[in-house]
Amino acid sequence: MKNIVSFLGALMLFLVAVVLPTELMAHLSPALGGGVAMAVAVNFANLDGTSHQVGNPGGTRQLLVVLANMVTGIWPKRADITAGEITTVPTLIDTEKFAKYDCPDGTIEVSSEKQGDPGFQSYKHAIEFMLAGFSKSIQGELDKYMNAGAIFVVEMNDGTYVVVGSSDNPIFVKQTFKGGKKGNDKRGFTVKGEQDGYVWDVLPLATDQVATLLIQA
């Protein structure tokens, strides 16, 4: 009797562990096109990366910034990205808006970098800009960045707006100040920030969304 019980137990284990999964996959396979649904690989496409007969100026026009915790929810997120651009603007709490910084010409730079070994890759976003002078208004504004992350939107010289950072993984900046050694030296702050761990590169904001950005007057 003991041997029969042991045999029945082993048979039941075999049915659950081997037969049932095999039968289940046999029924699922036709519905999934002959196999288990897996991540779909997308092959490379032809690409003209020469900017032939198209202007491609470097540089920027303006810098917009908002405190990350002024954004309701997560922005941008993967669902906000379509065909290589961000197709929504953030929802801000209360009456908050993006601030605009006027920086000396040629002192704003956006950059990015893909990092990591194969299988572990992600993107780093970075921002750098300068603020000329040593005024109390500059000092007061920079003090708001103490342990506080931000999202930046930068207009490039071709009119494209690029988003740096996100509300759930914001940019934390650090500043340095130089007073200059003589009269014609530059006096002011250099502000730099970077953050990694993004699953997308710095991306443009869709043109039809730019006009809906809430910006302080």
pLDDT tens, the chain, 217 aa long? 555 545 555 545 454 454 444 454 445 444 444 444 557 899 999 999 999 999 999 999 999 999 999 999 999 999 999 999 999 999 999 999 999 999 999 999 999 999 999 999 999 999 999 999 999 999 999 999 999 999 999 999 999 999 999 999 999 999 999 999 999 999 999 999 999 999 999 999 999 999 999 999 9
Q: Are residues 70 and 36 in the same domain?
A: no
Q: Is residue 47 in some structural domain? A: no
- 29 lies in which domain range? 1-42
Q: Is residue 51 in some structural domain? A: no
What pLDDT, on a 0 to 100 scale, did the predictor assign at position 76?
A: 98
Q: Are residues 70 and 25 in the same domain?
A: no
Residue-wise DSSP of 154-206: EEETTS-EEEE-BTTB-B-EEEEEE--SSTTS--EEEEEEEEEEESS--EEBP
Give yes or no for a contact between 154 and 127, defined as CB atoms under 8 angstroms apart: yes
Q: How many CB atoms lie within 10 A of CB 110?
A: 19
What pLDDT, on a 0 to 100 scale, did the predictor assign at position 36?
A: 46
As a whole number of angstroms, the distance between CA 168 and CA 213 comes to: 19
What pLDDT, on a 0 to 100 scale, did the predictor assign at position 28?
A: 44
As a whole number of angstroms, the distance between CA 116 and CA 164 comes to: 20
Q: Is residue 196 in some structural domain? A: yes
Q: Are residues 14 and 88 in the same domain?
A: no
What pLDDT, on a 0 to 100 scale, did the predictor assign at position 209?
A: 98
Q: How many domains does the chain have?
A: 2
Q: Are residues 98 and 189 in the same domain?
A: yes
What pLDDT, on a 0 to 100 scale, did the predictor assign at position 23?
A: 52
Report pTM. Answer: 0.81
Q: How many CB atoms lie within 10 A of CB 125?
A: 28
As a whole number of angstroms, the distance between CA 160 and CA 152 comes to: 14
